[in-house]
Amino acid sequence: MSEQKMLDVSQDTNESSLPNLSFNPGEKIDYEYFLDCVHCGLCTQACPTYVMTGNENDSPRGRIYLMRAVTDGRVDLNQNVRRHLELCLDCRSCETACPSGVQYGRLIEPFRLEMEKEIDTERKTDDWFHKYILFGLFPYPKRLRKALSFAKIAQRLKLDSLVLATGLWKLLPARLGRMATLLPKIRKADGKLEHVMPAIGKRRARVALFTGCVQSEVFAQTNYATAHVLQQNGCDVVIPESQGCCGAIHYHTGSEAPAVAMAAQNIAAFDRDDIDAIIINVAGCGSMLKDYAHLWNDEESADARSGFASKVKDVHEFLDELGFIPPKAPLDVKVTYHDACHLAHAQKVTQQPRNLIRQIPGVELIDLLESDMCCGAAGTYNLTETDMADQLSQRKLGNIRDTGASIVLTANSGCLMQIDRERRVQDESVRVMHPMDLIYCAYTHQSPYDYC
């Protein structure tokens, strides 16, 4: 990217955008991370925002240039620069595409975290939506359960379908309306998650299941299905009661202190000496949990954080390593698989889910074009950057439609809600499921069409 383009982006004549010389959001970042980028441009076509806008400043190398220029004091962190950095999905697809091994996540995440600490700047996280919904509701399962009781009644009365079909959701405050349309059909779990759920058959491992916050309430059945699949594969499954939100909602939106507290709570909740692995079935949470080891420069807790992170395994990753025991009942279905960004790019788990899916008798797995391009969910991005999120979900559903599959599988709660919303908006018949739900159907002799 040329110096002139960089300067064009950074110019702003308003007095309010004059440089704050005492504030440098990049000063705590290891400068070598910036130098790893050689600006070759191979990341650009992997970047969803660059693909959609064609703007170099919305590409990974462009954003690295911006962050480095701000860190060097060559460019002011004005609203134009901020906007290009905020539009990033943090999907990490650039890391997969990069031949130089640039660790983009270790640049954009701490940089945006520090951006929110600037004095005399209106913070995007100071509004009512972040305070009461993203930070005050989502990370707390008990609060969320109470709030969802109204949604469950509305779904039983088919009011959710009416609101979507008539467009009444557009009359609500923008973000609340978006939330109303994102909520999938909430399915009651087939059973209760006990503190210890014993292995079925020969015991092969003892694992703990991380249940999450939104996942535990909106996708309670998926958690139950995951535990059952693990049991069928010879695992004792432990559910620690004192676990909580992974902290990703706060961390990725620039609120560090609560994220640190949540990490400490989870580290204390899991008895790592008693288990072989901490299992996670949500890509975004898994990435966050695995990153506990390096997110904070706290020498006192470094060993505990590293020990915890080393135990975390995505459920597909774990079962593939353990040796998956396939179900015997066939499912005559055509499916396709969407790679959740924080599973494929952040955790590098791509083939393992496909390996498991292909072992389900009767299932035909069809390749999905641009399977690893973000669907627009990106944590809470689809609630705060709705225009870009919609463009990406429309592109994703178009590619899903072209496969001819009747079911699309993906291993992240945000992706499940985002793709399901788009298919309901476009009145598409394709079903959206977690791979664990499909495998559970095979183990329990259920039709996936009746299941979801």
Three-point CA angle 324, 329, 334, nearest 5°: 85
| DSSP classification of residue 264 | H
Measured between alpha carbons, how far is 220 from 360 in angstroms, rounded to an integer?
Answer: 23
What pLDDT score was predicted for residue 175?
83
The tokens describing 212, both together, are 């999450």
Put the strands of the sheet holding 196-197 in their side by side order. 196-197, 235-238, 205-209, 277-280, 312-314
Q: How far from the centroid of its chain's Cα atoms is residue 47's Cα?
A: 16
Measured between alpha carbons, how far is 84 from 56 in angstroms, rounded to an integer?
Answer: 10
Q: Give Rg (Cα) of the chain.
A: 22
What pLDDT score was predicted for residue 10?
47
* Options 3.40.50.720, 3.30.720.200, 3.40.50.11810, 3.10.25.10; CATH of 326-451: 3.40.50.11810
**Residue 39 to residues 14, 80, 90, 162: CA-CA distances in angstroms?**
31, 21, 18, 49
* Of 34, 11, 13, 4, nearest in space to 81 by CA: 11
What pLDDT score was predicted for residue 219?
97
- Identify whether the C-beta of residue 87 lies closer than 8 Å to the C-beta of residue 49: yes
- Identify whether the C-beta of residue 208 lies closer than 8 Å to the C-beta of residue 223: no
Over residues 422-444, the pLDDT tens digits come to 999 999 999 999 999 999 999 99
**Residue 11 to residues 18, 56, 57, 295: CA-CA distances in angstroms?**
10, 16, 14, 32
DSSP 267-314: HHH--GGG-SEEEE--HHHHHHHHGGGTSS--GGGHHHHHHHHHHEEE
What pLDDT score was predicted for residue 9?
52
Measured between alpha carbons, how far is 105 from 17 in angstroms, rounded to an integer?
Answer: 27
Q: Which residues of the chain register pLDDT less than 50?
A: 1-4, 6-7, 10-21
Measured between alpha carbons, how far is 17 from 322 in angstroms, rounded to an integer?
Answer: 55
* Of 223, 239, 225, 229, nearest in space to 200 by CA: 229
Measured between alpha carbons, how far is 355 from 85 in angstroms, rounded to an integer?
Answer: 36
Measured between alpha carbons, how far is 150 from 163 in angstroms, rounded to an integer?
Answer: 14
Beta strand 235-238 pairing with 312-314 = unpaired
Cα torsion through 161, 424, 133, 148, rounded to 10: 50
CATH topology of domain 196-320: Rossmann fold (3.40.50)
What pLDDT score was predicted for residue 122?
63
- Widest pairwise Cα distance in the chain: 71
The counts of H helices and E strands in the chain are: 25, 9
DSSP 13-60: --GGGS--TT--TTTTS-THHHHT-----TTGGG-HHHHHH--GGGSH
For the chain, domain boundaries: 3-122, 126-182, 196-320, 326-451
Measured between alpha carbons, how far is 278 from 233 in angstroms, rounded to an integer?
Answer: 15
Measured between alpha carbons, how far is 365 from 286 in angstroms, rounded to an integer?
Answer: 24
* Of 331, 324, 335, nearest in space to 229 by CA: 324
Decide: helix, strand or coil at residue 235. Answer: strand
The tokens describing 78, both together, are 């004005």
Over residues 98-150, the pLDDT tens digits come to 999 999 999 998 898 888 877 555 666 778 888 888 899 999 999 999 999 99
3-122 and 196-320, same CATH topology: no
Measured between alpha carbons, how far is 64 from 39 in angstroms, rounded to an integer?
Answer: 9
Helix (H) or strand (E) holding 396: helix 386-403
Decide: helix, strand or coil at residue 247. Answer: coil
What pLDDT score was predicted for residue 210?
98
CATH class for the domain made up of 3-122 = mainly alpha
Beta bridge partners of 364: 334
The tokens describing 20, both together, are 């704050």
